[in-house]
Amino acid sequence: QTTVAPLSSLSPAELEAFLASQRTAYTDLQNRGLKLDLTRGKPSAEQLDLCNELLSLPKGHKDASGTDVRNYGGLSGLPELRAMFADLLWVEPEQVIAGGNSSLTMMHDCLVQLLLHGGPDSPRPWSQEETVKFVCPVPGYDRHFTMLASYGIEMVPVAMHEDGPDMAAVRELVKDPSVKGIWVVPTYANPSGAVCSQEVASELASMETAAPDFRIFWDNAYAFHHLTEDEAKSADIITLASGSGHPNRPLMFASTSKITFAGAGVAFFAASKANVDWYLGHQQFASIGPDKVNQLRHIQFFGSADGVREHMARHRAILAPKFAAVDDALTSALSGRDVATWSKPSGGYFVNLDVLDGTASRVVELAKGAGIALTPAGASYPHGNDPDDRNIRLAPSFPVLDEVETAMAGVATCVLLAAAEKLSG
Ligand code: PLP
């Protein structure tokens, strides 16, 4: 049995031999002519097939209250679907809006309305402030950051810990009145898998902020996306915030994009009654109502909130082995080498891989050269800039299990080769 020593402890001669062996392993990898993709957190075809019944729904065209879903109207969405997701999201039905197919669109709508008009408690529209800044826990979701960048909003990174954003840093930053908001993916965060604790949520809800209209963009995209029996319960940010005198601070988002069809699900917005009225007050100029046919189809497909929970167990059965394969491949190739750490998420869609500082871009480049597409290094940071060039987001949901195993063994080879190159200077 060969001993596995940290790469940094090898003598120059040992390191040279190791580098040579990894170059050979990499050439072998290239010769396999792979074409694999671990870039985006999309559901696999097998997961989408779980919902094929949706394609022959709805049965009939009226909801429980007799509304003809084929027609215009009903800006807040069908009441039964709002009630179902209110139950799942721990809010009151009148605090939930069931919208179109994308929660990202709802986040964007909120941001744009805040810029153009301000919120219920804004002294002026955000666009009339000299500077608008957002606290951005990193690593985070690339599209949150690109959305802010597109409006010239300054992003201030803070560390995302296992229990949520680094609150010591957040507490300091919100003393600046130009800091207007923070992104939080509270449950199984993209990409770290972190779950925001009750304590962190409660502090976010209650902390003093210099901006009177500070907003928590609480993006609960993975609220029900458990990978283990140990199901994380999202903190109830809306009750926490109203209990501490800041009812309008949180804006909650969720969707069925990774529950039913990623491109044809239903998105939800939940917040205080004042924020819901604010949102609808602006939305009325943009829409005569959402796609209620799709909403009715979802009501019939799920049946109840428990129907959603049961459905998520079927996703878990498909996804959990893929996440296990990622961990197995990384553990067997990298443990003891001291060149990488990675998350072992209990839910969500991603594994966060931190490699030796200064080698993430090289790992992604090597993987590409061997036919394995990885998310660009740094993508999980504002402006794509990971100052340590360390972070890589792995998305194992889309490829079939075999491909995940093959791709991850290849990624591990690239991690070792890049580390050996770096250490041998
Ligand atoms: N929020 C997070 C954290 C995500 O990871 C994603 C998709 O990857 C989305 C939102 C997109 O949501 P939707 O499909 O509802 O627009």
As a whole number of angstroms, the distance between CA 156 and CA 138 comes to 10
Does 71-303 carry CATH code 3.40.640.10? yes
Domains of the chain, residue spans: 7-47+310-423, 71-303
d(CA 313, CA 29): 35
> Quick one: DSSP state of residue 174?
T
15: enclosing H helix or E strand: helix 12-31
Residue type, position 134, single letter: F
Task: Give yes or no on whether 7-47+310-423 and 71-303 have one common fold.
Answer: no
Would you say the CB of residue 190 lies under 6 angstroms from ligand 1? yes
Is the CB of 185 inside a 6 Å radius of any atom of ligand 1? yes
Tell which atom from ligand 1 comes closest to the C-alpha of 257.
Answer: 14
The CATH class of the 7-47+310-423 domain is alpha beta
**∠ CA 173-178-179 to the nearest 5 degrees?**
40
The finding on whether 39 has its CB within 6 A of some atom of ligand 1 is: no
Q: Is 54 in the pocket of ligand 1 (CB under 6 A)?
A: no
- Cα(2) to ligand 1 centroid in Å equals 44
Best probe residue, ligand 1, of 48, 101, 103 (max atoms within 8 Å of C-beta)? 103
8 A C-beta contact, residue 299 and residue 132: no
* Ligand 1 atom, smallest distance to 141 CA: 3
**Residue 317: CB atoms within 10 Å:** 11
CB atoms within 10 A of CB 347: 24
> How many Å lie between the centroid of ligand 1 and the Cα of residue 104?
6
Give the closest residue (by CA) to ligand 1 atom 8.
Answer: 41
Please list the pLDDT of the chain residue by residue as tens digits (425 residues): 456 899 999 999 999 999 999 999 999 999 999 999 999 899 999 999 999 999 999 999 999 999 999 999 999 999 999 999 999 999 999 999 999 999 999 999 999 999 999 999 999 999 999 999 999 999 999 999 999 999 999 999 999 999 999 999 999 999 999 999 999 999 999 999 999 999 999 999 999 999 999 999 999 999 999 999 999 999 999 999 999 999 999 999 999 999 999 999 999 999 999 999 999 999 999 999 999 999 999 999 999 999 999 999 999 999 999 999 999 999 999 999 999 999 999 999 999 999 999 999 999 999 999 999 999 999 999 999 999 999 999 999 999 999 999 999 999 999 999 999 999 98
What are the respective helix, strand and coil percentages of the chain, to the nearest 5?
45, 15, 45
